[in-house]
Amino acid sequence: MRWFRFFRKKNASREVAKDRLKLLLVSDRAGCTPDIMESIKNDLIHVISKYMEIDTNGLEIKITRTASEDSRETVPALYANIPIVNLRNVKG
């Protein structure tokens, strides 16, 4: 039984590496450096924190490819998964 776990871990790490490489390639094609991604992440945290308490450790931001409106080609798209802990009472 231990052998099965050993091989499964390799596959999982291979999938993680494969996903990271895809993210790197898409980010590169979109002209988005890691510094820009970090700036986007920090700006999103700053703005959203005004209205919601968020879990910054669980925050995930990446650039993916999605079909354009005319469905003839794919275009870069920003994907943000931001776990919300609590809403803030903001009076405007």
For 47-91, what is each residue's pLDDT tens digit? Answer: 999 999 999 888 888 877 788 887 778 878 888 899 999 988 766
Comparing C-alpha atoms, which of 80, 58, 77 is closest to residue 67? 77
Pair 61, 77: CB distance under 8 Å: no
The chain-wide mean pLDDT, for the chain, equals 78
Helix (H, G, I), strand (E, B) or coil at 68: coil
- What band does 11 get if pLDDT is binned at 50, 70 and 90? low
- What band does 10 get if pLDDT is binned at 50, 70 and 90? low
Q: How far apart (Å, rounded) are the C-alpha atoms in residues 91 and 60?
A: 28
pLDDT over 60 at 3, yes or no: no
pLDDT over 60 at 25, yes or no: yes
Structure tokens at 22: 């895809």
What is the model's pLDDT at position 84?
Answer: 92
Strands (E), 1-92: 52-54, 60-67, 74-81, 84-87
What is the model's pLDDT at position 27?
Answer: 64
What is the model's pLDDT at position 28?
Answer: 67
